[in-house]
A and B are shown apart, each in its own frame.
Chain A
């Protein structure tokens, strides 16, 4: 069936590349001015410019990447340049031939540049009929799918609206119906890339640490990253709840109520001024989440921490008395081993504050211990239990 081509047909010749295109419609590849319809395309390809060095297998393998090659031949009678041959390649499917042609045209192959063109003249009547039928089915599928999608699209776009912020959703809802009325029924609205844009996400806000975000009393205060540092003057070891800081938005600057300490987002929340030594355990509200008072290691420098009561399995009551003595000793030692006052640096401020706190603790404990000695009953026992639990930690 393949007729020997005595003269090269027009559609086998390579047309001149168009050089006069304006920049806005100059494509990625240089192309001639040509229109391809279903008539120009075929699953038969003509490949010219193949070096005549016995590369048939490699050539067919290259073409077979894009689809099954049914048959191939060398066209010896075809007028070809010196040292080149023309091949006739038949694909199983038109789609594969299209891709192969697009990819392998102007392809450098073993030193030669391939020129691939369609060869519909090699088709039989049935081939042509089949080709036209395939095109029909493809278009029918594509357009039928679009009709179905057109019906669904208004619904889906309505579903997508809640995701968009209120300002833009109003604009989309206004534009969509107008588009729908303007054009035919089957008209698919202009794609979203031409219409509105999705709402921009909220700009990132400086996330400074605020302990109000604690949910449980055992949460460890964290900074955002490993390289982060706590704000200057902020002591993460202590329970730090003030009504002002906890109730308001942590991102807003909370003007300090009491002390004129450093305000603003760069500095931590207000340090507690009143006595919050663990008497109020209101973790449920989330506001006054109190962490147990920790004795800072720096304060206890050089001194071994006493074992928590019951650690060695001893009876607790015995330890109460000894513990009282220990506390008093501790307080004395705290005062002795406290950091020297070298000015109003932040570190020393912390140390000063810690010392004050310890004094407060000791005062409350002495009060409770005095209460205990007077045997006031439940309050003392609760106080003592609190002491023991505190000491354990």
Chain B
């Protein structure tokens, strides 16, 4: 093929081929593998654990809110890939996320709950969060004004559901809240609420909540809905 084409096009074809190959490799695995990390880091690079350690250290030492937000967001994104879970557990990052849920800074709360949402499916992480009383903290996040925070909180509750924790998660007030969310114009919110109610609550619980809702108007505050026009 390279013989028939002009040299320029052959080079571009080769480059395109390499680009496509790289893309295909990405497509194969959603997460990083150890070999990929080693290749990316190189021999003289900082290892993953060391890097995460330096992030945690910066978060603890810094006074600037900007830096804290950046580091927390960075760690929450690392929590997406299971290859980092051991490191994060070792560095007590889960506790860091749980602590940030009670911060005043809304962005810190948003990033913290995002990190928990990413982490919560792993069995060991789940146990740690449940043991640390994370369910209550997450339920508190349901009343946040930030859309992303609420969405992540709903998903985190879903992920944290185990036979043991189900009663704590499907509290009456929570189910009521979900019913309200289901009626929201925000499709993301209503979808998640519907999935929660259909898959994680029993019919009886939903019925009880409906009846209770018909009765009183006080419950968990709704988040601010996205303004329409």
A: which residues have CB within 8 A of B?
Answer: 3, 6-7, 9-11, 18, 20-22, 24-25, 33-40, 65-67, 95-96, 98-99, 103, 120-125, 127-129, 132, 135-136, 138-140, 142-143, 146, 183-184, 186-188, 190-191, 193-194
Chain B, residues 139-175, CB within 8 Å of chain A (1/0): the string is 0000000011001100100110000000000000000
Answer whether A142 and B31 are a contact pair too, CB < 8 Å, given A21-B70, A35-B76.
yes
| B11 part of interface (Cβ distance < 8 Å) | no
B194 near A125 (CB under 8 angstroms)? yes
| Chain B, interface residues (CB within 8 Å), range | 35 or more
Within B84-101, which residues are at the interface with A (CB < 8 Å)? 85-86, 89-90
Question: Are A7 and B48 in touch, CB under 8 angstroms?
Answer: no
Report the separation of the CA atoms of residues A312 and B74 in the bound assembly, to the nearest whole angstrom. 91
Top 8 closest pairs, chain A to chain B, by CB: A35-B114, A139-B121, A142-B82, A128-B191, A35-B76, A37-B117, A39-B151, A194-B47
Chain A residue nearest to B146 (CB atoms) is A10
A6 contact set on B, CB distance < 8 A: 228-229
On whether the beta carbons of A143 and B47 are closer than 8 Å, the reply is: no
Residues of chain B contacted by A67 (CB below 8 angstroms): 27
A136–B49 Cα distance when bound, in Å, is 25
Contact between A7 and B229, CB atoms less than 8 A apart = yes
Chain B residues near A186 (CB-CB < 8 A)? 124
Contact A98 B86 (CB under 8 A): no
Q: How far is B27's CA from A381's CA once the two chains are assembled, in angstroms? A: 82
Chain B residues with CB below 8 A from A7, complex form: 226-229
In the complex, 6 of the A-B residue pairs with CB atoms within 8 angstroms, ordered by the A residue number, are: A95-B27, A103-B23, A184-B89, A187-B90, A188-B86, A194-B49
Residues in A neighbouring B124, C-beta threshold 8 A = 184, 186
Residues of A within 8 A of B69 (CB): 33
B152 contacts A39, CB within 8 Å?
A: yes
Whether the pair A132, B229 counts as a contact (CB closer than 8 A) is no
B183 to chain A, nearest CB (A): 14
16 extra interchain contacts, Cβ-Cβ under 8 A, other than A67-B27, A142-B83, A143-B123?
Answer: A3-B187, A7-B227, A20-B66, A21-B70, A22-B67, A34-B73, A95-B30, A122-B187, A125-B195, A129-B195, A138-B31, A139-B122, A143-B122, A184-B124, A186-B124, A191-B48
Interface of chain B, helix or strand or loop or mixed? helix
Chain B residue contacts of A39, Cβ below 8 A: 117, 148, 151-152, 155, 188, 192
B13 part of interface (Cβ distance < 8 Å): no
Number of residue pairs spanning A and B whose beta carbons lie under 8 angstroms apart = 133
Q: Is the Cβ of B148 less than 8 Å from the Cβ of A40?
A: yes
Complex Cα distance, B9 from A65, in Å, reads 20
Report the bound CA distance from A184 to B73 in whole Å: 27
Residues B152 and A99 in contact, CB atoms below 8 Å apart: no
Contact residue among A34, A35, A146, A193 (Cβ-Cβ distance under 8 Å from B41): A193
Q: Which one of B47, B73, B121, B226 contacts A193 once the chains associate, using CB atoms below 8 Å? A: B47
Within 13-71 of B, Cβ neighbours of A (below 8 Å) are at 20, 23, 26-27, 30-31, 34, 38, 41, 46-51, 54-55, 58, 66-67, 69-71
Q: Does B77 contact A (CB under 8 A)?
A: yes
Cβ of A224 to closest chain B Cβ, rounded Å: 30
Q: Among B23, B49, B55, point to the contact of A190 (Cβ < 8 A).
A: B49
Q: Considering only CB atoms, which chain B residue lies closest to A98 in the complex?
A: B30
User: Is the C-beta of B181 less than 8 angstroms from some C-beta in chain A?
Assistant: no
Q: Is B176 an interface residue (CB 8 A)?
A: no
A37 touching B23 in the complex, CB below 8 Å, given contacts A121-B188, A187-B86: no
Please name all residues of chain B whose beta carbon is closer than 8 Å to the beta carbon of A35 when the two chains form the complex.
Answer: 73, 76-77, 110-111, 114-115, 148
* Known A132-B158, A184-B124; contact A143-B73, beta-carbon cutoff 8 A: no
**Which residues of A are found within 8 Å of B118, using beta-carbon distances?**
37-38
Chain B residues positioned under 8 Å from A65 (CB to CB): 20, 23
Interface centre among A6, A39, A66 (most CB of B within 10 A): A39
| Smallest Cβ-Cβ distance to B112: which chain A residue | A35
Q: How far is the CA of A93 from the CA of B164 in the complex (A)?
A: 33
B8 within 8 A of A: no
Task: Give every chain B residue within 8 A of A136 (Cβ-Cβ).
Answer: 121, 159
Write out the residue numbers on chain A whose beta carbons fall within 8 Å of the beta carbon of B51: 25
- Kindly state whether residue B199 has any CB partner on chain A within 8 Å: yes
Q: B58, B70, B121, B192: which contacts A140 (Cβ < 8 A)?
A: B121
Residues of chain B with a CB closer than 8 A to A40's CB: 148
Per-position contact with A for B189-202: 1 when CB-CB < 8 Å, else 0?
Answer: 00110110001000
B50 near A194 (CB under 8 angstroms)? yes
Q: Give A184 to B123 CA distance when docked, in angstroms.
A: 13
- Rounded to whole angstroms, the CA-CA distance of A140 and B69 in the bound complex is 29
Give min CB distance, B191 to chain A, whole Å: 4
- Given the complex of chains A and B, what is the CA–CA distance between A40 and B80 in angstroms? 12
Contact of B155 among A38, A138, A183, A184 (CB under 8 A): A38
Closest Cβ–Cβ distance, residue B73 to chain A (whole Å): 5
Nearest-CB distance from A96 to chain B (Å)? Answer: 7
Chain B residues closer than 8 Å to A138, beta-carbon distance: 30-31
Q: Once bound together, how far apart are the Cα atoms of A127 and B115, in whole Å?
A: 23
